[in-house]
């Protein structure tokens, strides 16, 4: 009696009985394994032309992103679109750009681009700003919005903003007995004097309008104040710190320029000192 289990004898009649695994069969197995390995390796290996195509695609995407960073920012020219975020029939609209804003008691003043607005980074530090500051250039409108209605009160052509960020800048609000006055300061730094525009919102009637600056009968749309100082209100009059330079120096040094607000003339009128000269020079 054999000591081998019964399955061993049954296995002798299996599918390999009489089919020895000789050298020829081994060679066939090797060839099939090699062929499958080559096919699998070919699938994993990316051809050179595909690598070149991928590099070209990445280059094009990089150039396109760079172009978008330099492309103009557009804003709707219709004042009724300012501040709206959705369109008719559920269509989503882009939020318009508000370059500067100031809040009045019954409304707000908005400085918005009128058409295209270009944007760039200064790239180098100077007395005009830091290297990371952002420059905006374009035409702008001054809009007063109150009780759901908007009215353009002034236009500013070819204006250049320089601000620390791309966000909305704040208008400086000064309170006078007869009106609130908002100062638009496009460039927050300067080498000699910081230039600004002024807009009034009358407390009687709530009308908004631009203000001029009058010195010896000469009218100007802008005025200025010394860097690192700020305009103020003293006894109902506008006080502008003067700078060292022509018109601002006296024997005692630079003197403040002082203006009274004349809403009838829609102007700040520079007052005279005891010698009859404009305070602080022109």
pLDDT one-digit tens code per residue, 65-95: 555 555 444 444 443 445 433 344 433 334 5
Which range, 127-131, 251-255, 273-277, is most confident? Answer: 127-131
pLDDT at 166 over 90: yes
Average pLDDT over every residue of 163-183: 97
Structure tokens at 193: 């004097």
pLDDT greater at residue 16 or residue 156 = 156
- Hunting for tokens 């001029």 — which residue is that? 212
Tens digit of each residue's pLDDT (9 = 90 or more) over 236-246: 999 999 876 54
Other residues' Cβ atoms within 10 Å of the Cβ of residue 248: 21
Three-state SS for 244?
coil
Close Cβ partners of 116 (under 8 Å, ≥ 6 residues apart): 72, 73, 74, 138
Angle at 60 between CA 56 and CA 62, to 5 degrees: 115
Residue 158 CA from chain centroid, whole number: 17
Average pLDDT over every residue of 132-141: 97
222 within 8 A of 185, measured Cβ to Cβ = no
pLDDT at residue 13, as a whole number: 53
Q: Lowest-pLDDT range, 59-73, 158-172, 176-190?
A: 59-73
Identify each DSSP E strand in 58-207 by its residue range.
Answer: 73-75, 100-103, 108-121, 134-146, 149-163, 169-170, 172-175, 179-184, 194-202
Longest dimension (CA), the chain: 142
- Hunting for tokens 């750009």 — which residue is that? 97
Cβ burial of 241 (10 Å; 0-12, 13-18, 19+) is buried
pLDDT at residue 158, as a whole number: 97
pLDDT at residue 92, as a whole number: 38
């Amino acid at each position: 009696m054999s000591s081998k289990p019964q399955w061993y004898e049954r296995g002798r009649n299996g599918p390999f009985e009489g089919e020895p695994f000789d050298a020829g069969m081994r060679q066939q197995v090797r060839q099939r394994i090699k062929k499958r390995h080559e096919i699998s390796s070919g699938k994993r290996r990316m051809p050179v032309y595909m690598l070149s195509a991928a590099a070209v695609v990445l280059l094009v995407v990089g150039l396109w992103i760079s172009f978008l960073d330099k492309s103009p920012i557009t804003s709707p020219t219709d004042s009724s679109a300012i501040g709206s975020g959705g369109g008719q029939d559920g269509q989503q609209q882009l939020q318009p750009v508000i370059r500067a804003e100031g809040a009045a008691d019954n409304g707000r003043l908005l400085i918005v681009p009128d058409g295209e607005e270009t944007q760039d980074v200064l790239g180098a530090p100077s007395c005009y700003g830091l290297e990371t500051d952002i420059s905006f250039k374009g035409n702008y409108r001054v809009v007063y919005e109150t009780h759901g209605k908007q009215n353009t009160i002034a236009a500013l052509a070819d204006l250049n903003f320089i601000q620390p960020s791309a966000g909305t800048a704040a208008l400086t609000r000064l309170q006078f007995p007869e009106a609130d006055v908002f100062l638009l300061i496009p460039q927050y730094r300067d080498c000699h004097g910081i230039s600004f525009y002024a807009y009034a919102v009358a407390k009687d009637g709530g009308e908004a309008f631009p203000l001029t600056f009058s010195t010896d009968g000469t009218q100007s749309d802008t005025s200025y104040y010394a860097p690192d100082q700020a305009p103020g209100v003293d006894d109902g009059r506008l006080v502008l710190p003067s700078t060292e330079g022509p018109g601002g120096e006296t024997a005692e040094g630079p003197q403040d320029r002082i203006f009274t607000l004349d809403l009838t003339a829609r102007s700040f009128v520079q007052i005279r000192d005891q010698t009859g000269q404009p305070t602080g020079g022109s």
